[in-house]
Chains A and B, each alone.
Chain A
C-alpha cells in the first residue's frame, strides 16, 4: 500500500511542443513561425505543431493534408526521431537526478514521484522549478510541470501550466501548477467532465443525461447512482477520479508492452515480394531495438492496413522468446502468407510483444545450428553498427541505389516523405 494519499507528491513533466522545439534549436530562423513536424507526404499525420500553428487549429494526429489546408504558410518538417529520442534520454536523465522514481510515458512526458526527495532537493514545487531551469539551461527547451498528490491530478495540472495558442501568438502559461491535497477538490470542480480519464463520447452522452457536465457535478452524485448509469467498474473508477482518488504508483523501468515498427507507403503496395522485403527490414529494426534494450518476446504480430483503411493483424505466440532479427523476419513473413495483398496495402508493421527482460538464460536448440548461427550473426551486426554506424550493415533487402539504408526507429512513422 502507498499509505495515505496526501503523503505522496507526484510530478508530471511534459515538454512543450517537443519535436517542434527540438527542430527550432537547429533552425532558429523558424522561431515564431508556424511549424509542423510529421509525415509530410499525402498520407502523413501531424506529430507535433508549434503554438503558432495551433492557432490555426492544427493539432497532433491530424492528417497532414488537413493541416496544410488550415495553415498553408506553415513549415512542414519530416522530423528526426532519433534526434528526439537522444534529447529525450538526456531530459529523462535530468529527471532521474532528482528521484529514482521516473516513469516515462512517452519521449516527451514522464511522471516523477518525489515524495521522499524533499530533504535532498526541496519540496515538490521547488523540484519542479529546478527541473524547468535545468532542462532550459542544458537543452534549451521548455517544459510544463504539474505537482499534485497523485498522477491523475498531476497530469491535469501540467496541462493548466502549459502555454496556449492564440491568433496574436502563443500565450505563456504559468509553467508550473501546484495542486495541494486541500486544493484538489476546488481544482477539479470546474473542469469539464471529459477531462477525466475514461470519459469518451459515449460516456459523456450518458453523463449529460444525468445533468453532469463538470467534475464538480459528478462529485456530488453518490457512487451507486454513477454505477447505475455507467456500469459497475467504470462508475466506480469515475467516482474515484472525481474525488481525486488515484493510487496508481509511479513505476520506473516498466517493461514496454511491445516493440514495433510500422510504415505507411506513399502508394498502395500490391506485390508480395516487395512487402516481404519491407517486413525483413522492419524485423531488423525491431530485433535491433529488442537487443539494445535487453528484451525478448514471444508474440510476433504483423499489422496490415489496406487502401480502404480496413486493418487486420495476424499474430502467433512462440514457445520461447526471441530477439533475433532473422527469426522475427521468418515469423513475420509466415504470418503475412495468410494475407492477400491484392487489394493494395497502405501500411504494414511488425511488432514483438509479450516482452520480458532477458535474464541471461537461453534455451539451447537441438537442431541448434540455425538458431545459434542467427544469434551470432545478430551479435556481429550489433557490434558493427555500434562501431561504424547504423548504415554500415543491414539485411540485403535494405540495399538500394544509395547504399545500405536500414530502417531506423521512427522511419516514416508519421507517414511517407513528400516525393
Chain B
C-alpha cells in the first residue's frame, strides 16, 4: 500500500476514525489501530471497538493498492506534528513509512488480517434532515445513563410514532423525549435502542451536514454523513415503559424566562456542593432559588415568574435541572408538578415537541 495526501485531510480522518478506537486495550490488540484500505485512489480508513465503528472514505493519490493497520494514537500524533503539505504513507514488510518534507517515521504495523471484517449495512435506507436529527440528539443524549450497570439505560430509544420518529432517553432520574414529526425511519410500532455513546459521536460527526442516511439492520445501525460512516451495535433488551411516567395534568405550573433561570441556577449551584440540591421556592409572581451546603455557606436568588398553584418548595440536582433547561427550546419554560416528591415536567412554553421529566431530590 502506498499513497499521498494532504496532511490536514489525514489529520481530520485520523481524528474522526480514532474516536471509535477504545483506549482500554480490549480483547483484540489490533483494534488499537486504524485500518487503511487502498484501491486505486480510494482510501477507506476504519477505527472500531466492535461496538462502534467509524470509517472515512478519502480520495488520495494512490500508487499501490493494499491494506495496513497503523497504531491509531501514534499515527494521529505524528500526522498532527508534521509540517502542512503532502504526506506519503507506504506500508512495507511490517512497517509503515510516513514521510513529509524531510521528516520520516517508520512505525510497526499490526497484522491487518486480524482486523475484524465489518460487513456493510443491509436494509432499507432512509434520509433524515441532519440539523433536526442532530438537535434531537443534543436534547436527549445527556439524559441517557452513563452507568454501565444498567446497559438498557445507556441507550437512546428510536421509536416510530404516528407521524414520525421519537427519541427517548432516561437514566431513571430524568427522562427526555423529542418528537421529530415527518421523519419516518421505522416500520409502524418498531423501536430500536442505540448506544448513547455512538449517538454522541454521531452528533459530533454531523457538524453542519445537510442530511444523514440511516440504515437499520438486525443488530446494528449505520449512519452515513458524506464521506463518514458510523456503524453501531444496537442494545438488546426492553426499554422501560416511559409513557406511563409522563403526567397528563398537574395542578402547579411555573412559567419563567429560560435564560434568566439558567443564569441564576449557575450562580446558585456554586453553593450546592457534593450531593446537596438547589431548592426552588415557588410563590405567586416569583421564584426563589436557595442552595445551602453545611460548613460552606449558602446562596439565594429571586426571579420574576408566573406561578399558578399552591406554595411549593421542590429540590433538584442542579446539574440535572440545567441539563434539561439548556436543551429546552424557546424563551420561556414551564415547570409543572404535583408536589415535592413527584416528577416535574419541564417544557418550552412555545414548542411542544420536547419534554424533560425530572425527579426531585428528597430533603429530610
Inter-chain contacts of B315 with A (CB < 8 A): 361
Give CA–CA (A360, B292) in the complex, Å: 13
Closest to B242 in A: A366
Q: A356-B275, A361-B362, A361-B363 are in contact. Are A367 and B149 (CB under 8 A)?
A: no
Inter-chain contacts of B274 with A (CB < 8 A): 356, 359
Query: For chain B residues 301-352, which have a beta carbon within 8 Å of chain A?
Result: 315, 317, 320, 341, 343
Give CA–CA (A376, B146) in the complex, Å: 26
Closest to A370 in B: B172
Ranked nearest first, the 10 interchain pairs of A and B with the lowest CB-CB distance are: A364-B359, A360-B364, A362-B362, A361-B361, A365-B172, A367-B172, A363-B361, A361-B363, A318-B147, A366-B359
User: Which one, A316, A319, A364, A367, contacts B341 given CB within 8 A?
Assistant: A364
Quick check: is B22 within 8 A (CB to CB) of the other chain?
A: no
Interface residues of B, dominant DSSP: loop
Inter-chain contacts of B170 with A (CB < 8 A): 366-367
18 A-B pairs (CB sep. < 8 Å): A316-B148, A316-B149, A317-B147, A318-B149, A319-B173, A356-B274, A356-B275, A360-B364, A361-B275, A361-B363, A361-B364, A363-B320, A364-B359, A364-B361, A366-B170, A366-B173, A366-B245, A368-B359
Give CA–CA (A318, B149) in the complex, Å: 8
Give CA–CA (A183, B172) in the complex, Å: 62
Inter-chain contacts of A360 with B (CB < 8 A): 363-364
Q: A319-B173, A359-B275 are in contact. Are A365 and B359 (CB under 8 A)?
A: yes
Inter-chain contacts of B362 with A (CB < 8 A): 361-362, 364
Q: Mark A349-362, 1 if CB is under 8 A from B, else 0.
A: 00000001001111
Closest to B363 in A: A361
Quick check: is A321 within 8 A (CB to CB) of the other chain?
A: yes
Quick check: is B195 within 8 A (CB to CB) of the other chain?
A: no
Give CA–CA (A368, B361) in the complex, Å: 12
Is the Cβ of A320 less than 8 Å from the Cβ of B173? yes
Quick check: is B175 within 8 A (CB to CB) of the other chain?
A: yes
User: Which one, B174, B363, B364, contacts A366 given CB within 8 A?
Assistant: B174
Inter-chain contacts of A289 with B (CB < 8 A): none
Q: Mark B259-296, 1 if CB is under 8 A from A, else 0.
A: 00000000000000011110000000000000000100
Q: A366-B245, A366-B357, A368-B359 are in contact. Are A359 and B145 (CB under 8 A)?
A: no
Inter-chain contacts of B359 with A (CB < 8 A): 363-366, 368
Quick check: is B360 within 8 A (CB to CB) of the other chain?
A: yes
Quick check: is A330 within 8 A (CB to CB) of the other chain?
A: yes
Give how many B residues have a beta carbon under 8 Å from the other chain's beta carbons: 30
Q: How far is the CB of B281 from chain A (nearest CB, A)?
A: 16
Query: For chain A residues 311-366, which have a beta carbon within 8 Å of chain B?
Result: 316-321, 330-331, 334, 356, 359-366
Give CA–CA (A382, B245) in the complex, Å: 31
Inter-chain contacts of A356 with B (CB < 8 A): 274-275
Is the Cβ of A363 less than 8 Å from the Cβ of B245? no
Closest to B146 in A: A319
Is the Cβ of B147 less than 8 Å from the Cβ of A365? no
Q: How far is the CB of A54 from chain B (nearest CB, A)?
A: 44
Query: For chain A residues 353-410, which have a beta carbon within 8 Å of chain B?
Result: 356, 359-368, 371
Is the Cβ of A361 less than 8 Å from the Cβ of B174? no
Give CA–CA (A366, B153) in the complex, Å: 12
Give CA–CA (A317, B147) in the complex, Å: 7
Give CA–CA (A356, B293) in the complex, Å: 13
Inter-chain contacts of A320 with B (CB < 8 A): 173, 275
Query: For chain B residues 171-195, which have a beta carbon within 8 Å of chain A?
Result: 171-175
Inter-chain contacts of B171 with A (CB < 8 A): 319
Q: How far is the CB of A254 from chain B (nearest CB, A)?
A: 14
Is the Cβ of A363 less than 8 Å from the Cβ of B317? yes
Give CA–CA (A367, B173) in the complex, Å: 8
Q: How far is the CB of B53 from chain A (nearest CB, A)?
A: 22
Closest to B342 in A: A364
Q: A318-B149, A361-B361 are in contact. Are A366 and B275 (CB under 8 A)?
A: no
Quick check: is B240 within 8 A (CB to CB) of the other chain?
A: yes
Inter-chain contacts of A364 with B (CB < 8 A): 173, 341, 359-362
Is the Cβ of B276 less than 8 Å from the Cβ of A367? no
Closest to A327 in B: B149
Inter-chain contacts of B146 with A (CB < 8 A): 319
Give CA–CA (A365, B364) in the complex, Å: 16
Give CA–CA (A331, B148) in the complex, Å: 9
Give CA–CA (A378, B317) in the complex, Å: 24
Give CA–CA (A382, B351) in the complex, Å: 49
Q: Mark B117-158, 1 if CB is under 8 A from A, else 0.
A: 000000000000000000000000000011111000000000
Query: For chain B residues 233-269, which have a beta carbon within 8 Å of chain A?
Result: 240, 245
Given contacts A360-B363, A367-B172, A367-B245, 7 further A-B contacts (CB under 8 A): A319-B145, A321-B275, A356-B274, A361-B315, A363-B320, A366-B170, A366-B174
Is the Cβ of B245 less than 8 Å from the Cβ of A316? no
Is the Cβ of B276 less than 8 Å from the Cβ of A359? yes
Is the Cβ of B343 less than 8 Å from the Cβ of A366? yes
Give CA–CA (A362, B364) in the complex, Å: 8
Q: How far is the CB of A164 from chain B (nearest CB, A)?
A: 44
A356, A359, A368: most-surrounded residue (chain B CB, <10 A): A359
A316, A356, A364, A371: most-surrounded residue (chain B CB, <10 A): A364
B149, B276, B359: most-surrounded residue (chain A CB, <10 A): B149
Inter-chain contacts of A319 with B (CB < 8 A): 145-147, 171, 173
Closest to A368 in B: B359
Query: For chain A residues 82-115, which have a beta carbon within 8 Å of chain B?
Result: none
Q: How far is the CB of B288 from chain A (nearest CB, A)?
A: 18
Inter-chain contacts of A359 with B (CB < 8 A): 274-276, 294
Closest to B274 in A: A356
A321, A363, A365, A371: most-surrounded residue (chain B CB, <10 A): A363
Q: How far is the CB of A313 from chain B (nearest CB, A)?
A: 14
Inter-chain contacts of B148 with A (CB < 8 A): 316, 334
